[in-house]
Structure formats: C-alpha cells, structure tokens
Structure 1
C-alpha cells in the first residue's frame, strides 16, 4: 500500500463562501427556463408571496413567486394542477436550498389561451372597463332577477335553490344560453342583449359552474365583456369556483365566488328583511305609545285647568255682586267726591283737545312767512350773482387782448412775463384777439 502526501495545503472555504460561489455559477450559466410540472405544498403567505413545489413523477424542486408577479397571474393555483413555469434557477444561500424563482406561469397545454387571457385583461384594464368608479350599484330590494346561463347547468339549479330559500318573493327570469363551446360567447351576448332590451329585471346574474380554463373560455370573450360593461342593468358574475377568474368577473359590477353566492348577493334574505321589518314596527309601536302617553298627560293637565261655563258664570256673578255693593257704599259715603273727580277730568280733557282753527291760522301765517323769505333770499342771490359776473368780466384777460394785447406762452404752456427768461431759438405760442401764432425767439432784452 502506497501513501501519497500532499505537498500543498488545500484551500478551505466557509459554507457561506461555497453557497455564494454556487449561486454565482447558477446566475452566470443558467438562463431563464420553462419547466413543466405539478404544483404541490402550495402556500400563500401574508406578504402575498407564493411558496410551493414543482414536481413530476421522478423529482421535485422548491419554488417561490413573489407578490408582484403572483398578482399578475389572475387566479390562485391549486395543488395537483399542472402548469408551465417560466423561472430563474437560484440558490437560497442562508440554507443552501436549491430553488427556482417563478416569473410567470400558464396551464400546461393551454399556454396560448392563458397568454390571450392576459393580453385581453391588460387591454380592457387600460381602457378602464375594470374601474370601480364606472360600476353600477346592485339593487338592494329587487322585484325581479334575471339569470343568464344554460338550462341544463347545475349553476341554474344552485341559483334557483338559493333564491327559493332566501327570497321566494323575488321573481326569477332565465335567459338561456350555452355556457361552453364555440358559439357560447355569441349566445351569451345575445341573451344579455335580450334581457337589456326587455328591461324587466333589476339585476342580472351571469353564472356557470367550475371547470378548466378551456371550459370557461366563453366568459373571456371581448365582445361579452364590452356588453357587460355597457349594460344599464347591474350584472353579478358567478362563474366557476372561488379560485377561477374570467374577464367577465373583472368587468361585472360585482363578482361572486360561486353561482350560489351570486344569488345570495343579488337580494337580501327574506328572513332578514322580516326581522328588520319587525324591529322597525316595534320601534314604531313604541314611538306611538310614547306619543299617546305624552298627549294623554297634556290632556289631563288641560282638563284640570278647564272650568265649566256654569262655574265660570257663578264666579263672575259673585264678583259683579261684590262690585255693585262696593259702588253703593261709595255712593252713600262720598256722593260729592266722584262728581268732583269727573269735573276735573272733563276740564283736563277740554284743555287737551286740539284747537283746529287756531292751528290752521298759525300754519297759514308760517307758510306766508316762508314764501316771503324764499323770494327775498332768491332776489339777494340773483343780485350777488350779477355783481360777481360783472367783476369777472372786468378782470377777464380777454378784454385786455381785445384791446390789442397778446398772451405769450412757452412750450410748456406757462405764461411768459420776463423776456430774460427766454432763450434764443425757443418756440413761443402767441394768443391774439382772434387766433394764435407760433414765433421763435431771435433775441431778448429787458425794458430800461
């Protein structure tokens, strides 16, 4: 047996260095790949990330799909379903776990349908057909509900059973149309348009049982989506199971997870309405009793304050008798005093009465004095005005100009009084008795 001794010390890596190196090699040399497999151990975290395994009959690999990419899928996958995954291979360095990061997924064998679904969803979303602001409110108490589905569909039985149980007072009208097959989209649109044209229901239910993406494809039609969006009648979609999503679900005014749930959302329970009605009737009765009790109390107080006419007459008669007796006593004891008081009152009344004739004479005299004063004042003001006019005319420079004089102004319009204030070449305006002229200063000298 031969023993070999190493002549060079080996390079020793830490576990972290090893995992980092393997991760770098995967990032550099392993491109993004498509992997086909079955989902297992699916978990949706509170953060929105999906954690699951992709397996086939011989192997399995851990996978993660982060929230942003998971929201773009449009549905929640279930364990046991087969998909094709677009993923990047990586290594989770803290634990050294080999995993793949899923960037997109589609059902195995239906990849083209899923891609078409995503394209149409993106297009209609950009146009605003999914906008909550444009969706119509559902009628709270409908009198009639329409159902668009197949007559042979189990979903119709579920809806009718739920309606009979919850709201037997609400009429149900079925607008039959196939829910699967090549002609399903056109027939569904036709049934929807018929319901809109007849305008006999308050709410429309568009329902179908669960199935694969291919089975539900009739509800991913663009024409049907636009018809739902344009419907003046609110539409509730209940297509497939809770995890199934179609374009009709996004466009409808309300999406129900199942056909039964769609029927429950379409109208309130009769039992709940009866309970609410009973509660309101009880409140009304209680309020009426309180009102009657308060009215009875007011009536009792009024009755207590009310005096019968006979009793009131008797009281007044008694009071009158007392006054008569007091008057008689006063008349017997002081007969002169009331007469004196009456004469005093009459004298004061005569003095207070207005003397109309005297007042009229005084008024006429005052009117004459006022007119005389006004006329005298007007004459004085006219005389003062004439004197002022004569003085103004005597002082007017126009009279001086008319006698052969002139008014000389410089370029600024100021009257020139001193020749020494002028400059040679300065332009002057000379106002004459009739008209004006412009002159230039040739020379200027003062008067000695």
Structure 2
C-alpha cells in the first residue's frame, strides 16, 4: 500500500527524468558501444553474403549458437584481395556499432583473413601496402598488351595442368602464334627464386612479345610463392608485358597486382594474350572490303574527271569552226560603226568638193579617178591574195579532216589501249588474260585477251 505522501514524492521524481525519443536512445546506445567496446578480431562462418552495386559487402558472421550482422564498406573491401565464400571460415577485425534506424546491433568489418592463416594474410597485406607506396601497383604503370603478338612465353611448371590449358587454348584460338615455355616450379620454398630466374631468362633472350605467368588453383600455402617480394619486383621490372593467371577467379596474389594484366584463370590468360585467328581474319576481311570500296570510289571519281576533260577537248575542225564564228561575230559587231563613219566622211568630202573653185574641182576629179584606179587594182590584188589563202585553208582543213582519228573511227575502225594506257600497235605486245580498252567512234568497251596471232 502506498501512502499519499509517498505517491506525491514519486510523481515529483518522475517529472524530473528526461523523456528520450527512440532515435535519441539508439544514438546514445551506439555511442556507448563504439566508445566502450574496442576493435576486436572475431572468428566465424560467412552466411547471407551480398555484394551491393555500391561495392559494399553485407553478410552475417555466425558460429554454432549465435549470429551477428556485418557490413564491410567498399574502401575496405577493395583491399582484401579475395571475396569471402559463403560457408567459409574467416577472422574479422570489427568495430561494434548499432544500426540506429532499426536498433540492430551489428559490426563494421575493417579487415578479413582466412581462419588459421592470419600470419600469412598479415604478411600479404604488409607487402601489398609496401608495394603500393612504392608505386608498383599503380594502374598507370601497367603497359598495354600487344594486340597481335607473334611469340608468347609461358612461365609455369612442365607438369602443371595450367600448361595444358594454355596450350589447348592457343592451338584452338591462335595456331599462328608460337609458344615458348620457360619451365619453373610453381609451388614450394624454391619456387619463387626459380620463377624469377625464368622471367629473367625470358627478358635476356628477348624472343617473346608477352609473358604468361600461370598456375592452377590451390590453397593459400600452395600459391604463396606468388606472394614473394622478390618475384613481385621481377614481374614489375620485366621488359616484356606480363599477364598473371594464378589460381581461380577468387584467388588474388601479389603477382596479380604488379602484373600488367590480371586474368582470373590460366585459360583466361591464354585468351587475353592475343586475338583469335577468326577475329584477325574478320578484321583483315573488313579492311580489304573497306580498301576495295575506297579504290572503287577513287576510280569512279577519276572516270568522272576524265569524262569532263574529254568533253572539253575539241578537234582541229571544231577549233577552226569556232574561230570562224568568233570572226563573224566580230565583223557583225564592228562593221556597222565603220560604215557609218565612212558614209559621214564621204558626205563631208562631197560638201568640201562642192565649195571648191571649178579648176580645183577638175584637178581633184582627175586625182580621184587615178585613186579609184589604184584602189581597184589594190582590191583585185587583195581578192586574189584572199582566194589563194582560202584555197590553202581549204586544203589544210581537208588534211585535218583526213587526219582526225575520230573520222577514222567513224568509218568502223577502233583504237586499242593496253592496261597502262598506251596504244597497241602489235597484237604480239599483248598477253593472254590482259585487260584492254577499246575506243570506237561512239563509246568505249573493255575486254580480256584470250588469244594473240601474228599476221602472215
């Protein structure tokens, strides 16, 4: 039983306590978790893994009796070097947080490594960070792979299944490309040193256009030689572009990061090193068709220019006729003004004569008669000269008409041109299957020579 005084005191104390919203409550809990719980390593199995379009990873970490939600943001996920598999056991470095909108407790993953392999993964990350700082993993440093290599080098073991895969792909896709093998172990303590020796041998011999560094899948320990620092520096320093195809698609090694191109598998490395024979033939055929179209257009344009130039050419008879027309037009244009001036001059002379005394008029008439006689003689001489020149012109015109090749062509003859444009005068100068051009009085034709005979 509560007494009245106690009830009043309880009501007063409740009035003094703050009332929080759900958002404020979750915010304070998140701060308490982040401040009071240090970053820790958590071991567990991955489930419900989702890679978002943003690049973030969302998944759950569970063991036999509990599960916790986890998120790894894109910037952290890109530095992992592999993609966690559902059901796989890993170790996660996490920061405990609260997802405030739902009030769910979760962890933000900052690093991940395969369970039981923490030391190797830490060494992997340290070497990757060191090479990144030195610029050996910078994408700008990578060189382009030759589009059409003539010789491809393969660095791998003679007994590796990756070698059989590469040779099978090359024989199927690019049988025209020569393959040279630089054998080396791809597993074990001495593998990294021997891989470096094989790369250095390929560089010294300078006989290949691109190198494939390949090996099939395996455990982290099996692939560890491809995480060797000396091998990474040999790959980066190789004067020949290097394609790394080590392990499966989810496997990442240091050699992948420093190579000029990373292939997810050895088979993919063989496919990426050069275009297939069919692709090259298609490109050659396309280029040939494009060249043929361009040549055809050039020939068509040249034929049009030739037709325009031929249309502007005139025979000698046409030139003479053109000059006659121009002369006639000039006479018709200049003769009337000259006749008018002559008539006006005659009228002035007649008026002057009429004003002269009779004796001077008689002397002038006698001189006019003498001048008229001289003029008649001059006119007769000019007429004879003009007739002679007209006869010479007629003879020359007839000669030009006789020598005009088109007049000859009009009588059924033809002119034969060889492929180089020269006029063919002897049938024996032609070869069988040679293309010739025949010019007629009206038009042209092309033909192929099927036989040549000499006249007896």
User: What does 1:42-121 align with in structure 2 at a 5 Å threshold?
Assistant: 42-121=49-128
Map 1:308-327; keep pairs closer than 5 Å. none
Structure-to-structure mapping, 1:171-186, within 5 angstroms: 171-186=178-193
Secondary structure of 2:86's counterpart equals coil
**Whole-Å Cα distance in 1 between the matches of residues 289 and 193 of structure 2?**
52
For the structure 1 residues 332 and 111, does the alpha-carbon distance in structure 2 shift closer, same or farther, using more than 3 Å as the test?
Answer: same
Change (3 A) 1:96 1:305: closer
Mapped to 1, the partners of 2:112 and 2:74 lie a distance apart of 14
| 1:14-29 matches, cutoff 5 A | 15-16=22-23, 18-20=25-27, 22-29=29-36
Alpha-carbon displacement from aligned partner over 1:301-326 (angstroms, at most 9, x marks no partner): 555555678x699989x99xxxxxxx
1:38 to 45, 53, 57: 45
Provide the secondary structure at the position in 2 that maps to 1:263: helix
SS of 2:71 mapped into structure 1: strand
Query: In structure 1, what is the Cα distance between the partners aligned to 2:54 and 2:225?
Result: 33
Shift of 1:94: 2.1
Q: Distance in 1 between matches of 2:307 and 2:376?
A: 44
Q: CA deviation at 1:250?
A: 1.3
Deviation at 1:244, TM superposition (A): 2.0
- 1:37 deviation in Å? 0.8
Q: Secondary structure at the match of 2:235?
A: helix
Match of 2:195 among 177, 188, 195: 188
Tell me the TM-score normalized by structure 1: 0.65
DSSP-derived class of the 1:120 partner: helix
Is it true that 1:240 corresponds to 2:286 in the alignment? no
Secondary structure, aligned partner of 1:72: coil
Instruction: Measure how far apart 1:125 and its partner are.
Output: 1.4
2:299 and 2:42 map into 1 onto residues whose CA distance is 80
Counterpart for residue 379 of structure 2: 333
Residues 190-222 of structure 1, C-alpha deviations (whole Å, 9 max, x = no match): 111111122111000111222332222111111
What is the alpha-carbon root mean square deviation over aligned residues?
A: 3.3
Uncovered stretches (5+) of structure 2, i.e. residues with no partner = 326-374, 383-456
**Residue 211 of structure 2: aligned partner:** 204
Question: Cα distance, 1:21 vs. partner?
Answer: 5.0
**CA displacement 1:8-57 (0-9 Å, x = unmatched):** 57888754455445434433443322111111111222333221111122
How does the TM-score come out when normalised to structure 2? 0.63
Matched, 1:167 2:213: no
- Note the C-alpha offset of 1:284: 1.4
For structure 1, the 5+ residue unaligned runs are: 320-328, 337-448
2:421 is aligned to: none
Corresponding residue for 1:289?
A: 296
Select which of 104, 118, 130 maps to 1:123.
130
The C-alpha deviation readout for 1:325-371, integer Å capped at 9, x for no partner, is xxxx99751659xxxxxxxxxxxxxxxxxxxxxxxxxxxxxxxxxxx
- SS of residue in 2 equivalent to 1:207: strand
State the Cα deviation string for residues 143-199 of structure 1 (Å, max 9, x = none).
Answer: 010111122222222222222232121111121212121121111111111111221
Aligned ranges 1:389-428 → 2 under 5 Å: none
User: 1:273 maps to what in 2?
Assistant: 280
Larger radius of gyration: 1
Whole-angstrom distance in 2 between the partners of 1:72 and 1:245: 11
The answer as to whether partners of 1:110 and 1:214 remain within 8 angstroms in 2 is no
Question: What's the secondary structure of 2:90's corresponding residue?
Answer: strand
